[in-house]
Amino acid sequence: MKIPVRYDLVRTMRGLALIQGDPTLSISTSAAWFATRTPSGPGSLGILFTSDLRFEAYGPGADWLLERADAIAGLRDDLTGFDELARAHPLVARLAREHAGLRIAATGRVFHHLVPAIIGQKVTGKEAHHSYVRLLRRLSEPAPGPCRGLLLPPDPEVIAATPYWAMHPLGIEQKRADTLRRAAAHAAALERCADAASCTARLVSIAGIGPWTAAEVTRAAYGDPDAVSVGDYNIKNNVTFALTGAPRGTDEHMLELLAPFAPHRGRVCALIAAAGIGAPRFGPRMPIRSFARY
């Protein structure tokens, strides 16, 4: 299969990890594995990268995964018009050249990404990671295929039937637990959404889900290059710092700065993140809490 010049498998696939260390992903420079629940059943997809890309899949969902393997690898990502937009800012133009191999992947699975997005609401990255891993180990199972340690995302029916008291020891307090169960009840309808816009509208109609969660999900599920995570603790500062040099910003200012890059605003955010550009940190970090102990 023809691949983009300087294709970056690692950074492309890392874009699917809404929580660092996501156990449904295994990524190296030569291979990436992705496990999910497809309409045909659970499956895992291997993206093997040497001088070319080769795909292999396992489980009842293997055929479904192979049919959209190129999208999951980011090869359906449409960069039409972005080079011209990028030239509007010298940093963005430079990042577009330096990270030309970065693509936005699209898995076609909504609930898969909705679970870590909800778990990641208003907590530190470490808290989110610990809770997500515990949830998968408790309520899911190993993925089919040869990749050891790869886990499937939870089945929405299992989440919907899990009471709050069973999630509390996993570090998930009642508000997020209730949101997870409500989302699980809408999972079938969410998977039927035709595009990112319709999915966003349905997502934000669910209590406990706002624009930040919707953007995180649609970027991964639909490969939406315009999705911006409004309400994130760091992104507004990182984008503002990258584009203006100011150490702090607001969501409103961030959107103003990104407006000239529509419909690739989310791509600009991804390039800034890929380059490791972050605003200076002032004051103490957010404390790591353990809801399981409360």
Do the Cβ atoms of 17 and 117 come closer than 8 Å?
Answer: no
Determine whether 290 is exposed, middle or buried from the number of CB atoms within 10 Å of its CB (0-12, 13-18, 19+).
Answer: exposed
Angle at CA of residue 113, ends 272 and 236, nearest 5°: 30
The structure's pTM equals 0.92
The pLDDT value recorded for residue 160 is: 97
The pLDDT value recorded for residue 292 is: 55
The pLDDT value recorded for residue 294 is: 52
List the pLDDT tens digit at each of the 294 positions of the chain. Answer: 678 888 999 999 999 999 999 999 999 999 999 999 999 999 999 999 987 899 999 999 999 999 999 999 999 999 999 999 999 999 999 999 999 999 999 999 999 999 999 999 989 999 999 999 999 999 999 999 999 999 999 999 999 999 999 999 999 999 999 999 999 999 999 999 999 999 999 999 999 999 999 999 999 999 999 999 999 989 999 999 999 999 999 999 999 999 999 999 999 999 999 999 999 987 555 454 555 555
**Which domains, and CATH codes, for the chain?**
74-282 (1.10.340.30)
The pLDDT value recorded for residue 290 is: 57
